[in-house]
Amino acid sequence: MTTQAQPPSETVLALAAWQLPDNDYRPADYMLKETLLSLGNGYLGTRGSFEEGAPAGVPHCEGTYLNGVYSSEPIVYGESAYAFAKHNHKMLQVANGKVLCVSVDQQSVNIGGALSHQRQLDMQSGVLHRNWIWQSQSGKQLQLQSRRFISQQRPQLLVIELTLTALNFSGPVTLSSALDAAYAGYHKADDPRVGVMSIADSLSLRQQALLPQGGQMLHQAKGSDSWVVACWQDQLPAATPSLPPAITADNYLQQEYQLHLEQGKPLSVHKLVVYQHAAAGADTAQLCQQAQQTLQDAATAGFNTLLTEQQQWWQQFWQGADLEIAGDLALQQGIRFNLFSLAQSAGRNGQSNIAAKGLTGPGYDGHYFWDTEVYVIPVMSLLQPGLARQLLAHRYSQLPAARARARQMSHQRGALYPWRTIGGEECSAYFPAGTAQYHINAAIAYAIRSYYLASGDRDFMASMGMEMLVETSRLWLELGFFNPRAGGRFEIHQVTGPDEYTAIVNNNYYTNAMVKLQLSFCCELLTAEPTWANRLGVSSEELAKWQQAASQMYLPYDSELQIHAQDDSFLQKQRWDFANTPAEKYPLLLHFHPLVIYRHQVLKQADTVLANVLLDDQISPAQKARDLAYYEPLTTHDSSLSACIHSIAFAETGDITRAQHFFGDSARMDLDNHHGNTEVGVHIACMAGSWLSLVQGFAGVRVRADGLYLAPKLPPQLGQLRFHLQYQQRLLRITVTATEARCELLRGEPLTLYLHGKPVTLTTGAHL
Amino acid sequence: MTTQAQPPSETVLALAAWQLPDNDYRPADYMLKETLLSLGNGYLGTRGSFEEGAPAGVPHCEGTYLNGVYSSEPIVYGESAYAFAKHNHKMLQVANGKVLCVSVDQQSVNIGGALSHQRQLDMQSGVLHRNWIWQSQSGKQLQLQSRRFISQQRPQLLVIELTLTALNFSGPVTLSSALDAAYAGYHKADDPRVGVMSIADSLSLRQQALLPQGGQMLHQAKGSDSWVVACWQDQLPAATPSLPPAITADNYLQQEYQLHLEQGKPLSVHKLVVYQHAAAGADTAQLCQQAQQTLQDAATAGFNTLLTEQQQWWQQFWQGADLEIAGDLALQQGIRFNLFSLAQSAGRNGQSNIAAKGLTGPGYDGHYFWDTEVYVIPVMSLLQPGLARQLLAHRYSQLPAARARARQMSHQRGALYPWRTIGGEECSAYFPAGTAQYHINAAIAYAIRSYYLASGDRDFMASMGMEMLVETSRLWLELGFFNPRAGGRFEIHQVTGPDEYTAIVNNNYYTNAMVKLQLSFCCELLTAEPTWANRLGVSSEELAKWQQAASQMYLPYDSELQIHAQDDSFLQKQRWDFANTPAEKYPLLLHFHPLVIYRHQVLKQADTVLANVLLDDQISPAQKARDLAYYEPLTTHDSSLSACIHSIAFAETGDITRAQHFFGDSARMDLDNHHGNTEVGVHIACMAGSWLSLVQGFAGVRVRADGLYLAPKLPPQLGQLRFHLQYQQRLLRITVTATEARCELLRGEPLTLYLHGKPVTLTTGAHL
């Protein structure tokens, strides 16, 4: 349904190839920019709020988050039932260490008195710059320049530099630096996609103390009992007098300093903030000591060293990951922002994953969904394989919880991963669009397959991947059955597929097809590696059962329409009345009861179409085209996961114009706030998906068991596309134009790949 | 699935034809007996608790309730969605006025010191008797006899007589009489069928005062803001000294009296308690005055007059409603208790209905379900047609709320009644087994049809019935559609039928069949009475559409099995593994996630079988037998609404042995606590259903458009069955034995009925 009117969004940040320039302050955009100017390093994330806090009365959403750390609270049901999810996890919101407030002659320096104001997030170095001039009521002009970054090399560290220049006076100014764990969270009423993130709801203060030019707080996360320490240190010119602490309340520590400015002479102060957590039961003295040591190390290194480290990390990242689009600055900025956000949000420590909104906001409570496996890991496998492995390692660490969940759901064997979680237990409070999405298991298997095909990492398979594959495969045989009433075909009932506008159906094509793919892959590996089968207790009978299930898997098909049926009943339903659905009734989920939506042929997002994209060459292009032609007009794309997949699907089936349209939707979904909710966080899956649109869609890159395939079909609007791939210990750079494709092997052993089906061998230095 | 082991329940009350004798006190049974010895009059109900309160440490559930009055609170969802039910109503639990405590020499007289203890609920007069002897530590013996009833003639009145006899001493005893609105409610963890009923949660105290030998409290119900006044007066022998009030706390008023007993000389005191409510915004002074007047009138009438009124009311009730079973005292007691409970619980004022557990406990929060329409009204239509009309009038009063609900559910026209409610708004917090049960609309239509066929009440149809029929019919055309992919047959999608172990399906046979019945009935009436159609704005086009929907209604049928399919997908599912489901895993809903249950062919209760019973002669006996043979083995009967219907179904299809088995299950379901949860209230629908088992099942009574049909097939165990029927202004008495049927016209015009299909004419005095 490409005709659906999206309210046109203004571009709130200016265009630039490597920057996000924020050239004007508008209260209505403050919260959106908090998201867009977020900083993170996969562990620690903080939103792009002003150092002095949000202007009075302006909607805002202060937030600093730790990935993989969470509070937990009981889920309340009006009417509960057996094995309903018991607790909701929330990504831990921690103390705000960004606070730096200046006052002149007792007047607070804030946006109200600004003569000019610019910010700029530099994606090449991961630094947020701010530069503004403020004027007092008596005419004193003060220039404030700040640089803020979250260290990529030191996971716990936030760094801020503030430079003050008195433009037309000399004299004292007061600086106050604070650590604030008392700030309120944000809640947007009546939108189930947005969680409440009130810091007081999630943290219990255990200790706090002011230290010389800084302070420290120790909290415990409610429900999970994890410990979190936050501490900071201000670095000021020697002999800056500290004023007595003005305010020291519970959850609020502040240091005040008297600075003397000489007209025209810049004065810089630095603030270093460290956040560190430990599991329940940890030695808190040790935890605090570690944090203090980290803080001390950073202080000793000093701002310039820290900044250099930062620049180096990002330089290295972009060397292996950059994607250049010639001829369209907006798309270029969009795709870089998307890659930048993925790098900032993905957990790197094997104890965390990537939340649906990364570390950029409270949306979806910071939960991990299948977004990771179907959208992010296939990208990371080709850009940052080490990081992809860490994301999968995190899922592996939660395999025991998935086994326990399978038992709760009355499955005797196997593992069932939760639809949404942080700590490993199912957190979905609405099971028809939660627990019923059993396809999360197939998504994890798909990600393992994607990573393995791209990396060839047998060590990972032996130590983690195979066990996850086997345990999730076992679950399918528990869930599905060989239906005697249908010739013994393998059927899977009462599940919800990716399209959440259809729930609890029999034989969802996507699910069945993905399970078939999973079981086939699993059987191939185990047949080739009997030692893995032995170690994991897979008998030949079990293996045979999986092979049988894969080969007899029922993939619903309507012979009259010659299309795959989304499920057993979908095609029998009434079609949604799009003609009489005004634009303001989208997204449908906010304007119609689920039963109304479920009753109709209407899709939130790609389902059959997604399966066909993921199944690659197992489905013929003609079949893909028929399925697409039927389902796309029924799709609202109310989910941000939809446009990118449709872009690939149209590219695969030769409709480059529509592929380009959908790519445009996804490439700048957050920068242009297409879904109107970026203020609570970016759309991580869509960001990854936009890279897939370019690389899988337009460049036709496919990673198959027998090698790497490339079949570019560039839209004429895109002059040239250049991107990097890591493939089986090699680094490739690929340049595509409307007429030619050029592959360079930048690092690694010679490689044979397939360009438009023909084998081509690359050796280092020898460019195709 | 008749083989399912029900844990054998002991009979907690002794057998008797007209009484419920309670001959021994056992702490474990206290709460169950509170339910069984409940008293009520359709407006006011109170549980059979001891006057002095429950013994310490014994599980109990004090409760006094007002029907149709409720508190309301927001429903909390872990994850909400558009048009989810917003508030939960709770049947209002009001102050306990039963409190009468005696002490001798500062020793509390309670069950701990009882030498003997009997109670007996007399169903012929609606009076609960208690008679016990207590001995003090020093050997003083006191006999306590009480009679308690809720007046059938004065809806607001509870009456208690307490007679004290000092058996071996003379001297003072202290009596304290209280009104207690501070008592705790009851909550059984982890059972979604049981609500929490804490009086403090639902009532805000606005005024309270002690009055001479009594007192008064004024409360406001939370959420609904209804006003409730409770006041009482003690009647004591002249010159009994009142002691100063010992305790007067918020929500607790107490009067103490010093009584002087002479050995062997009984002394009686009477306590009158009045409860009365008014809507939010009412004049509370006037409300209190009315209650005081009601109290004064009762006091003036005196205990004996009140008792006589009570006896007369019940005498009259039984004259028109009694059912005699010769040869089985247990069944006789069971069926009388069921009729007695129906009469006590059904609202009579047109502003209330009959809750799933009547006025006997907190189960299901006192909500009204379809139980009323499919189970109770068909019985009441033949026993107490005036009362049936009042129940329907109550639904009519909530038609505006049902219209509003239809709009919330995106239906442009028509009315959608809530699955569960008290005040008219949808209170179901789990929509797959709540709002999705659209068949509530068809149930209301079925009840209107049942009442109209039994009573011939055209005035009701003109003023209320037809409008409800039309508005609920309109909804079906909004919900269903003529499916172009299936030859234009009328289909209804994404609904849940009566079997709650299967949810959100397409073309539930029960729903479709009942809608067909409704639309046909509605069209017949409107065709015969064009003025009704005109008044209600039913155009000829609309009428034609309904006729078309009825005639093209899709009733799923499996030609291979030659049975009706419960829905489009049911027969494709895997059968439940009954063999490996131990007895302690029932009811399934408490031991399996809904998805596990939904995935299998397993029924909670009659669904297809229920439709066939309600459709009467529209389905052939052979078809009914095949459907029954397929579905019954898949049915757990976890719902108390199932056994009675299966009894009728087996009787209809000639299996009298199994019919008798299921009847036995339902006739004494509460007296024998078959479902193990009668402690939170009786099972009203089952009670009505047990009468249907006898009258529809064994006596073969059917009320059809063309008259009254009778076709008895008595099980040999039942020597004789005699029952009453009110049919179109007549009172009939019907006596059935294994070999003959005898019909007597006790009142009314001559009548032709059909006995085993043959017309027979009855005139007064002329018995067939």
The CATH code of the domain that includes B486 is: 1.50.10.10
Using one digit for the tens of pLDDT, what is the confidence trace for A433-489?
999 999 999 999 999 999 999 999 999 999 999 999 999 999 999 999 999 999 999
Reply yes or no on whether the pLDDT at B393 is more than 50: yes
Q: Of all residues in chain A, what percent carry a pLDDT higher than 70?
A: 96
Cα–Cα–Cα angle for B511, B515, B517, nearest 5°? 120
Q: Which of A123, A125, A112, A167 is nearest to A145 (CA)?
A: A167
User: Residue B271: inside a domain, yes or no?
Assistant: yes
CA separation, residue A414 to residues A455, B69, B242, B339 (Å)? 26, 50, 73, 52
Tens-place pLDDT, residues A298-356: 999 999 999 999 999 999 999 999 999 998 999 999 999 999 999 999 999 999 999 99
Q: Shortest CA distance to A694 belongs to which of A335, A380, A319, A451?
A: A335
Contact residues, chain B, for A501 at CB < 8 Å: none
Tell if the CB–CB gap between B569 and A573 is shorter than 8 Å: no
Give the mean pLDDT of B88-115.
Answer: 96
Q: Measuring CA to CA, which residue among A432, A512, A375, A613 is closest to residue B496?
A: A432
For residue A435, the chain B residues in CB contact (below 8 A) are: 593, 595
- The Cα–Cα gap between A569 and A247 comes to 64
pLDDT in tens, B517-527: 999 999 999 99
Query: What's residue A367's pLDDT?
Result: 97
| Residue at a domain's end among A654, A678, A698 | A698
Which residues in B lie closer than 8 A to residue A573 (C-beta atoms)? 493, 506
User: Who's near A450: CB < 8 A, 6+ residues apart?
Assistant: A377, A378, A381, A703
- Whether A760 is covered by a domain: the verdict is no
pLDDT value for A738: 87
Is residue B272 domain-shared with residue B208, that is, in the same domain? yes
Place B198 in a pLDDT band, splitting at 50, 70 and 90: low
Q: Which of B88, B408, B569 sits opposite A78 (nearest CB)?
A: B88
In this structure, are A353 and A247 located in the same domain? Answer: no
**How close is the nearest chain A Cα to the Cα of B515, in Å?**
18
Q: pLDDT at residue B180 above 60?
A: yes
Domain presence at residue A23: no
Put simply, the answer to whether A593 touches B430 (Cβ < 8 Å) is no
Residues of A in contact with B591 (CB under 8 A): 82
| Residue pair B485/B475 in contact by the 8 Å Cβ criterion | no
Binding-site members of B for substrate are 370-371, 604-605
- φ and ψ at A742, to 5 degrees? -130, 125
pLDDT, position A192? 47
Question: Is residue A548 located within the same domain as residue A406?
Answer: yes
Question: Tell me, what CATH number does A137's domain have?
Answer: 2.70.98.40
- Pair B289, B406 in one domain: no
Task: State how many domains chain B has.
Answer: 2
Residue B620 lies inside a defined structural domain of this protein: yes
A370 marked as part of a ligand binding site: yes
Domain co-membership, A339 together with A486: yes
- Nearest chain B Cα distance for residue A419, angstroms: 14
Instruction: Tell me the pLDDT tens digit for each residue of A585-601.
Output: 999 999 999 999 999 99
Specify whether A611 is located in the same domain as A634: yes
**Same structural domain, A537 and A669:** yes
Give the residue numbers spanning the domain of A369.
332-698
The pLDDT assigned to B192 comes to 47
The CA distance from A150 to A126, in Å, is 8
Question: Mind listing the pLDDT tens digit for each residue in A78-131?
Answer: 899 999 999 999 999 999 999 999 999 999 999 999 999 999 999 999 999 999
Q: Work out the percent of chain A whose per-residue pLDDT is above 90.
A: 91
Place B190 in a pLDDT band, splitting at 50, 70 and 90. Answer: very low
In the prediction, which pLDDT does A56 show?
A: 87
Asked if residue B579 and residue B539 are part of one domain, the reply reads yes
Q: What per-residue confidence (pLDDT) applies to A6?
A: 44
Q: Distance between alpha carbon B284 and the CA centroid of its chain, in Å?
A: 31
**Which residue matches tokens 């009935």?**
B521
pLDDT (mean) for B444-464 = 98
A293 and A431 assigned to the same domain: no
Kindly state the average pLDDT of the residues A558-562.
Answer: 97
Confidence class for position A199, pLDDT limits 50, 70, 90:
confident
Using the 3D structure, point to which of B698, B728, B757 is the last residue of a domain.
B698
Asked if the model's pLDDT at residue A188 lies above 50, the reply is: no
- In the numeric block, which tokens belong to residue B633? 């083995």
For residues B701 and B695, what is the distance between their CA atoms, to the nearest angstrom?
6
User: Where does the pLDDT of residue B200 fall: very low under 50, low under 70, confident under 90, or very high at 90 and above?
Assistant: confident
Q: Are residues A291 and A405 in the same domain?
A: no
Which is nearest to A79 in space by CA: B75, B163, B631, B700? B75
Q: Number of Cβ pairs closer than 8 Å across A and B?
A: 143
Contact B504 A76 (CB under 8 A): no
Q: How confident is the model at residue B327 (pLDDT cuts 50, 70, 90)?
A: confident
Q: Using a CB-CB distance cutoff of 8 angstroms, which residues of chain B are in contact with residue A77?
A: 76-78, 429-430
pLDDT, mean over chain A: 94
A190, pLDDT greater than 50: no
Say yes or no: B230 and B351 in one domain: no
pTM exceeds 0.90? yes
Q: Which of A655, A673, A698 is the last residue of a domain?
A: A698
As for the ipTM of the complex, it is: 0.93
Would you say A75 and A431 are in contact if contact means Cβ atoms under 8 Å apart? no
Q: Is residue A92 within 8 Å of residue A202, measured between CB atoms?
A: yes
Chain B partners of A408 at a C-beta cutoff of 8 Å?
A: 593
- Residue B765's pLDDT is 62
Compute how many other C-beta atoms are within 10 angstroms of the C-beta atom of residue A655: 16
Q: B494 vs A598: CB contact, 8 Å cut-off?
A: yes
The identity of residue A548, as a single letter, is Q
Nearest to A429 among B79, B491, B504 (CB): B79
Residue A191 in tokens: 């939108």
Q: What does the DSSP assignment read for A495-553?
A: B--S-TTS-SBSS-HHHHHHHHHHHHHHHHHHHH-HHHHHHTT--HHHHHHHHHHHHTB
User: Chain A closest CA to B598's CA: distance in Å?
Assistant: 7
Contact assessment for residue A467 and residue A525, using Cβ atoms and an 8 Å cutoff: no
The CA distance from B434 to A595, in Å, is 11
Residue A238's pLDDT is 82
Partner residue facing B192 (CB), from A80, A481, A485: A80
The answer, yes or no, to whether the previous bond of B530 is cis (omega within 30 of 0) is no
Q: What is the rounded average pLDDT of the residues A46-75?
A: 94
Best residue in B559, B570, B599 for a mutation probing chain A (most A CBs within 10 Å): B599
Q: Which two tokens stand for residue A436?
A: 């019923």
Identify which has the larger pLDDT, A516 or A247. A516
Give the pLDDT band (50/70/90) at residue B373: very high
Closest CA–CA distance from residue B435 to any residue of chain A (Å) = 9
Q: Band the pLDDT of B766: cuts 50, 70, 90.
A: low
pLDDT given at position B188:
47
Confirm whether B718 is domain-assigned.
Answer: no
The crossing angle, in degrees rounded to 10, of helices B284-321 and B329-345 is 150
Q: Which residues of B touch A506 (CB under 8 A)?
A: 569, 572-573
Please name the amino acid found at residue A393.
Answer: A
Tell me which H or E stretch contains A633: none
- Is the CB of residue B122 less than 8 Å from the CB of residue B344? no
Q: Is the pLDDT of residue B233 over 60?
A: yes
Interface with chain A: mutation pick from B426, B506, B595, B597, highest number of A CBs within 10 Å = B595
**Residue A616 within a domain:** yes
Q: Is residue A560 part of a domain?
A: yes
Choice between A763 and B313, residue whose per-residue pLDDT is larger: B313
d(CA A274, CA A289): 12
Task: Give A6-59 pLDDT, tens digit per residue.
Answer: 444 468 999 999 999 999 999 999 999 999 999 999 999 999 999 999 998 888
Q: What is the CA radius of gyration of chain A?
A: 27
Q: What whole-number distance in Å separates Cα of residue B267 and Cα of residue B246? A: 23
Residues B557 and B409 in one domain: yes
| pLDDT exceeds 80 at position A1 | no
Question: A448 to chain B, minimum CA–CA distance in Å?
Answer: 27
Which residue is catalytic, options A500, A632, A652, A679?
Answer: A500
The span from the CA of A497 to the CA of A514, in Å, is 11
Task: Say if A344 falls within a structural domain.
Answer: yes
Q: How far apart are CA A152 and CA B448, in angstroms?
A: 72
Most B-contacting residue of A86, A495, A599, A638 (CB-CB within 10 A), to test interface: A599
pLDDT of residue A504 exceeding 80:
yes
How far is it, in rounded angstroms, from Cα B608 to Cα B41? Answer: 35
Query: Are the Cβ atoms of B79 and A428 closer than 8 angstroms?
Result: yes
Contact A440, A371 (CB under 8 A): no
Predicted confidence band at A247 (pLDDT cuts at 50, 70, 90)? low
Of the candidates A429, A506, A569, the beta carbon closest to that of B77 is on: A429
